[in-house]
Structure 1
Amino acid sequence: MQIKNLMSEDIITIDKDQNLSDALKLLRKHNISRLPVTNNKELVGIVSERDIAAKLGSSKSESMPASRFHISSVMVKDVIAVPETMQLGEVAKIMLENGIGSVPVMNDGKMSGIVSKADFVTLAVGIAFDKITVKEIMSNEVVIVSPTDRLIHARREMINAKVGRLPVVDDEDLVGMITSKDLMRAFIDFRKNVPEKYQKSQIKEILVEDVMSSNPSYVTKEMSISDVSKIMMDTGFNGLPIVEGGKLIGIITQTDILRLIEKLES
């Protein structure tokens, strides 16, 4: 199958000279996690929730409001794009090798669509995926944080591990999840509500438990990939913790499912 048969043609873009506040409005309005960036309608970059969270949480920019940042200062400039005629397996391989969550799709030098890991997950439903279980593709090594860790520590862990979500564990029990979206919104709200002169000291007082989602959805290692994919599609979650006997034993993400599809396609 060619990637044009999977891509989304409804492309929401942002101009490089707009600011982060504009990006946040678009991300929330359309319930998406990344935006292609344009200049005179030409593709020049891409910006994601993870990029925004990393920028807003850095010490160099901790007291600056989102409206002060141009998209051009936050976006990833070296965008990898693919032609409409490229096969699914090839696109999946490119995304995996480069650690990216989406790729713009081009036709005659112009962007005609965008495809994300979430689009690939829609393919992992059906008889073939009913026979594959979570334990066959799950990640056993999971980066975790505790409820009492500082939010800036969680941000650092996400950046270092190149992930967009972290299980929150207290005494081996899964008690929550925290994502790039949570970080991004927390840093925005912090800037709005705390006077600038107090921000440098008070940012260190925000804890993971203040921001995380409690009572997170989870799956078991015996569930089928088809069922897990349906949950991801219904909830919009990019990853789900795996629990056994009340204890966290792993995580399964869209990346794991993408890797499976790439393997099957090749």
Structure 2
Amino acid sequence: MTDDLTKAESLFKEHKIRHIPVVSGSKILGILSYTDLLRISYVDAADDEDEVVDVTVYNMFTIEQVMSKHLVTITPETTIKEAAEILASKEFHALPVCKGGLLVGIVTTTDLIRYLLEQYN
């Protein structure tokens, strides 16, 4: 929560991910997606390697202002089918996995697609 958006963008690129859980300790407060960053910047996302980010724009906002706060979470016991049904019916692509109110993981649409592909191997 205390990091800035420039740090978040760096994490997205360094780890080739599209979602970052925003936490305080292990308690999830929100999710920041790469799309959230693109919405506030004037970056053309067509070529990630040549992006020049206007840091001034990032400095105008905090992670708390940009992240999604209204989360739908699942538990480790949630079935793959249930997770897929949630993602198919909503306009987001990541589900925090929480146990006892604490973040223990994250499931994305990409994870579900990879799982499905593994079933055909």
Correspondence for 2:19? 165
Q: Are 1:216 and 2:71 an aligned pair?
A: yes
What secondary structure, in the 3-state scheme, does the structure 1 residue paired with 2:41 have?
Answer: helix
Structure 1's unaligned 5+ residue stretches are: 1-146, 189-198
Residue 10 of structure 2 corresponds to 156
- Go from structure 1 to structure 2 and tell me whether the alpha carbon gap of 1:203 and 1:245 turns closer, same or farther (over 3 Å shift): same
**1:49-84 per-position Cα deviation (integer Å, ceiling 9, x unaligned):** xxxxxxxxxxxxxxxxxxxxxxxxxxxxxxxxxxxx
Deviation per CA, 1:120-152: give whole Å up to 9, x if none.
xxxxxxxxxxxxxxxxxxxxxxxxxxx221111
Question: Which runs of structure 2 are paired with 1:96-245 in the superposition (5 Å)?
Answer: 147-188=1-42, 203-245=58-100
Classify the secondary structure of the residue corresponding to 1:214. coil
Hey, what's the Cα distance between the residues in 2 that align with 1:237 and 1:170? 22
Residue 110 of structure 2 aligns with which residue? 255
Identity %: 29
TM-score of the superposed pair, with normalisation by structure 2? 0.82
* CA deviation vs aligned residue, 1:129-186 (integer Å, no higher than 9, x gap): xxxxxxxxxxxxxxxxxx2211111111111111111110012210001112210111
Runs (4+) off by over 2 Å? 199-206
Matches within 5 A, 1:12-161: 147-161=1-15
Check 1:231–1:172 CA distance in 2 against 1; reply closer, same or farther (3 A cut): same
TM-score, reference length from structure 1: 0.39
**Cα RMSD over matched residues?**
1.7
Decide whether aligned partners of structure 1 residues 157 and 212 sit closer, same or farther in structure 2, where only a CA change above 3 A counts. same
Give 1 or 2 for the bigger CA radius of gyration.
1
Closer, same or farther in 2 for the Cα pair 1:202/1:223, shift >3 Å? Answer: closer
Query: Displacement of 1:200 after TM fit?
Result: 5.5
